C-alpha cells in the first residue's frame, strides 16, 4: 500500500492538485485499499461499489461519496494506468438552496464583530464575494483601492479573477495596509504570518451569535449573499459568474432561485 500511496502523492503533486484535494484523495484511496483488503473483494467494479455503498450506509453525504469515487477513479486511471473504464454514476446531490443573509443581518454581523481586523475581513468578504481561504491569502498588491477592485490569485480550480470592492472600505483598508510591503499579507496575525481560515470562521460564528441571527449561516453565506444581492440589484448573471469565478453559468443560476422577484411579489391567499 505504501508504494501505491507514495506514487499517488507524486502524481497529484505533478498534476498541481491543491493541498486540500490531495489530502482528500489520499484519505479516500487509503480507505478504499484497506476496505478492499478487509472485505477480500478482488473484482475491481464490485470492490468500488461495495466501498461506496458502505459510505452510503454510514450516512455520508452524496458530495463525500462523489469525492471518494473521483479519488478511486484517479487511482486506477492516472496512477495504476488501468485501461478498464469504471462504469459507475455519481450519487445524486442534495439540491439545497444556499443560505442567504439579508442586508440588515449582514450589517448586524459586521457591527457585532468587536475586533476591527476581523470586522474588515467579514465586510470585505461580503463586499467582494470572497471565500474564507481567499480573504486570508490576500496581499497588499492584490488591492486596487482607488479602482475599487480586488485581484484574487490561484483561487479554486487554480484560477485568477478580479472582483469589486466597496467604497465604504476604502479608508479602513488604507489604514490596515499602511507601512506594509506589496507582498505582505493584508490581514496578518500577531506573529506576522497570515491569519488562519479557522480563526476567521470562529470569529464569524461568534459575531453571528452576537448579532442574534438565527439562520444556520456559515462564513460562505457571505459569498452567497454577495451573489444574491447583486442579482437583486439587476446585475446580469454572467457578470456575477465572472465575479464569483464560476466555470459554469449553471452554478451561478442557483442564486436566481433565491432572488426570484416574481415569486417574491406573489401574495399569500391567507
- Is position 250 annotated as part of the catalytic site? no
Annotated active-site residue in 156, 161, 180, 206:
156
- CA dist 91 and 213 (Å) reads 33
Annotated active-site residue in 55, 119, 131, 224:
131
Give 182-188's long-range contacts (Cβ < 8 A, gap of 24+).
Answer: 182/139, 182/140, 182/141, 183/139, 183/140, 183/141, 184/139, 184/140, 185/136, 185/137, 185/138, 185/139, 185/140, 186/138, 186/139, 186/140, 186/142, 186/143, 187/117, 187/120, 187/121, 187/135, 187/136, 187/138
Annotated active-site residue in 7, 30, 206, 220:
220
- Is position 224 annotated as part of the catalytic site? no
- Is position 95 annotated as part of the catalytic site? no
Strands 159-164 and 143-144: unpaired
- Is position 229 annotated as part of the catalytic site? no
Name the phi and psi angles at 181, rounded to 5.
Answer: -85, 165
- Is position 58 annotated as part of the catalytic site? no
C-alpha cell at 189: 496575525
C-alpha cell at 187: 490581514
- Is position 223 annotated as part of the catalytic site? yes
Residues counted in the chain: 270
Contact 62, 92 (CB under 8 A): yes
Annotated active-site residue in 108, 119, 223, 224:
223
Catalytic residue positions? Answer: 131, 156, 220, 223, 246, 255
Amino acid at each position: 500500500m505504501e508504494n501505491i500511496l507514495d506514487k499517488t502523492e507524486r502524481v497529484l503533486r505533478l498534476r498541481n492538485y491543491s493541498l486540500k484535494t490531495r489530502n482528500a484523495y489520499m484519505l479516500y484511496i487509503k480507505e478504499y485499499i484497506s476496505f478492499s483488503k478487509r472485505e477480500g473483494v478482488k473484482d475491481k467494479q464490485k470492490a468500488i461499489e461495495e466501498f461506496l455503498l458502505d459510505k452510503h450506509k454510514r450516512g455520508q453525504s452524496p458530495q463525500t461519496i462523489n469525492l471518494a469515487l473521483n479519488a478511486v477513479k484517479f487511482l486506477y486511471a492516472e496512477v495504476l494506468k488501468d485501461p478498464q473504464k469504471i462504469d459507475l454514476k455519481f450519487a445524486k446531490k442534495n439540491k439545497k438552496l444556499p443560505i442567504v443573509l439579508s442586508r440588515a443581518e449582514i450589517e448586524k454581523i459586521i457591527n457585532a464583530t468587536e475586533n476591527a481586523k476581523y470586522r474588515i475581513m467579514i465586510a470585505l468578504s461580503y463586499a467582494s464575494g470572497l471565500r474564507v481561504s481567499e480573504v486570508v491569502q490576500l496581499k497588499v498588491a492584490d488591492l486596487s483601492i482607488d479602482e475599487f477592485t480586488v485581484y484574487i490569485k490561484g483561487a479554486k480550480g487554480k484560477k485568477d479573477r478580479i472582483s469589486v470592492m466597496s467604497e465604504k472600505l476604502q479608508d479602513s483598508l488604507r489604514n490596515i495596509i499602511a507601512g506594509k510591503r506589496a507582498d505582505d499579507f493584508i490581514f496578518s496575525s500577531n506573529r506576522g504570518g497570515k491569519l488562519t481560515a479557522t480563526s476567521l470562521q470562529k470569529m464569524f460564528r461568534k459575531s453571528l451569535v452576537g448579532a442574534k441571527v438565527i439562520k444556520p449561516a456559515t462564513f460562505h453565506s457571505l459569498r452567497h449573499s454577495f451573489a444574491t444581492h447583486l442579482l437583486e440589484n439587476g446585475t446580469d448573471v454572467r457578470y456575477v459568474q465572472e465575479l464569483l469565478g464560476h466555470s459554469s453559468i449553471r452554478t451561478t443560476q442557483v442564486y436566481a432561485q433565491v432572488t426570484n422577484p416574481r415569486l417574491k411579489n406573489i401574495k399569500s391567499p391567507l
